[in-house]
Chains A and B, each alone.
Chain A
Amino acid sequence: MQASQRESGSVLGSWPRIRKRPEDFPVRPHLLDYAATRAAFSWEAARAGLSGLPGGGLNIAFEAVHRHAIGARAHKTALRWIGKDGSRRTLTYAELSQEVLRFASALRALGLKEGARVFLLLGRVPELYIAMLGALSAKYVVSPLFSAFGPEPIATRMRMGEGAVLVTTPELYRRRVASIRGDLPSLEHIVVVARSGETIPGTIGWSELLARGDPRFIVPPTDPEDLALLHFTSGTTGRPKGAMHVHAAVLTHYVTGLYALDLHEDDIFWCTADPGWVTGTSYGVIAPLVHGVTNLVVEAEFDAETWYRILEAEKVSVWYTAPTAIRMMMKLGPEIAKKYDFSHLRFLASVGEPLNPEGVMFGLEAFGRPFHDNWWQTETGGIMIANYAAMDVKPGSMGRPLPGIEAAIVRREPDGSVRVIEEPMVEGELALKKGWPSMFRGYLGEDERYRKCFAGEWYLTGDLAKKDDEGYFWFVGRADDVIKSAGHLIGPFEVESTLMEHPAVAEAAVIGKPDPVAGEMVKAFVVLRPGVMPSEELRRAILAHARTRLGPVVAPKEIDFRDNLPRTRSGKIMRRLLKARELGLPEGDLSTLESDEQASAPLPGVQP
């Protein structure tokens, strides 16, 4: 099954087109005619779907919660939370708004300056949503961290972002934060969400803080260009990049919720992504609430049958999930899914990495609806290219650009400009015409790195793709060495740096190795210091070090020892070559190769 998935996935467009008959749909899709909607669209007109702050300006949290709390949706369920132990909590828009405003005012009472950074390191608990929206209401900048990050990625991001507040749990604090707290000079307050009422010295309890808050807090005037969210993402080189997003992004969240997710008033929406990543923020928190639908939050990790039960019992109508989960459900087979009643499910979407055609078709087989793949990235802030409810699906394609989004396949020219490739199915870099509301406004503290992402009017995504004669885009691969595992972007440099902190390691190179479930998995090649002998014991020691420092999602799954690594003349490790060799692929252009790797130490007198 694994081999066949990969093979057929590479044959673009060889799968039958899934034809849509929107006239038969029980609910009329918002985007019925792609060309007409695109032609008529303008961001200015779309703004009518938002309210704006009463005193002027635009604030994400106000659009997501407070405007509904003072309107017709006040008593409608905003959040429906299901805990790991099956416990439930629901919050209406009015209730959520009260909690959010209390948290906002309590944060203000801590004496933080406007624009201070509030980091969140929490599982999917209600407090995460309250804290995020509360900080945004008070005009603090929110940076969500994935709770499976180890101390190293947390410390790097909090130092870069100069986090003033961290909201976390006692367990996560002990496991991941206590050891690095001394290295976080900007951190002023740690708020802990304790179920048991336990207290930790040097921290503030969630309930204690909230009790100080005033639900009559008024969202201050917010300029749409004020910084709202700081999402860290990974590049090939150097430290993580802090993509800066502003309050104006909420217009993209609104428009994509409308067209790409087809949200309607009575929907029960479930985004399975963790808010520690951009998908879980833009679509796990903001977009569904902006649309005033009921947002389902499930704390537990993936388990196929648990998910099927939830889809059935909660009557989920729009479901946004990821290829890794879909492939795990495929492994279980469609028969088990067929035992459940999915009659409420109207629209299925997927993001995180390209969804292979088998995954699209599995949706049809198991749920009676295809999965609709879409494409975007941390920098874009929201969905940019999508398959729509009323548009035919070509399995394996990411779909067509959203109304308001101009996408093209381009080639970089030697003079730094780009040329748009008009011929269909020619590979090039995916580019977006700059200026959409949720476009990132910078990489924190790295203007040069930000500038390099643009050529003229185009934002260059770093993804390689093709466009067919009907305007559907097809993903080809990454233009850089960034690893995409289970929908998470992992920067090889961050992993290599941590590996090299191990006393036995002299050098390390990290690649993404294809994996049938996760898309890619992190694989490390390690060169030991002179005199250190490779052994299984040492491999395990290095693995334990990496997992403890980085957390399970970022740490390598495989470690191989090497005597040395292939390098360019300028000394850069050629990860591309390591990867080609790992996969048995052609080695490509080796003209810049200076020193090659060796499988084992050369024998005396023999030239390597």
Chain B
Amino acid sequence: MRREELERVVADVLAGIAPEADFAAVKGEDDLRDELDLDSMDFLNLVIGLHERLGIDIPEADYPKLFTKNGLLDYLAAKTGQ
């Protein structure tokens, strides 16, 4: 999947969890949890939402790779075969 598409998917899933969050405004190396005010439950819900939308498995051990915006998008790109 292309990066812009992935960004849209993430923004879409986030909108159901933290509708006030502006994913597009987050800088690549920023921690999403800090920048978007996500608590641990929000973060888990984001991972579950991405798993459902993209049909990919995200093992718990990989969670730290998803903390920054770039990390998350790189991870999803690799998992969805791009």
Contacts and interface: CB of A to CB of B under 8 A. Distances in A.
Interface of A: 84, 148, 175, 301-306, 324, 328, 331-333, 336, 485-486, 515, 517-518, 521, 540-541, 543-544, 547-548, 551-553, 557
Given A332-B60, A332-B61, A551 B37 contact: yes
Contacts of B54: none
Given A548-B20, A557-B45, A331 B60 contact: yes
B39 A486 contact: yes
A544 B37 contact: no
B15 interface: yes
Contacts of B39: 148, 486, 552-553
Interface in B16-71: 16, 18-20, 31, 33, 37-42, 44-45, 60-61, 63-64, 67
Contacts of B38: 552
B77 to A, nearest CB: 22
Contacts, number: 58
A515 B39 CA distance: 15
Contacts of B64: 303, 305-306
Interface residues of B, number: 20
Contacts of B45: 557
Given A305-B61, A305-B64, A517 B20 contact: no
A517 B45 CA distance: 12
A521 B33 contact: no
Nearest to B35: A171
Contacts of A303: 63-64, 67
Contacts of B18: 543-544, 547, 552
Nearest to A148: B39
Contact of A552 (B37, B61, B63, B67): B37
A552 B60 CA distance: 22
Given A304-B60, A548-B20, 4 more contacts: A148-B39, A302-B40, A305-B64, A486-B39
A301 B33 contact: yes
Contacts of B44: 517
Contacts of B31: 84
A486 B41 contact: yes
Contact of A540 (B19, B63, B67): B19
A332 B45 CA distance: 16
Given A540-B16, A544-B19, A548-B20, A521 B60 contact: no
B41 A518 contact: yes
Nearest to A324: B40
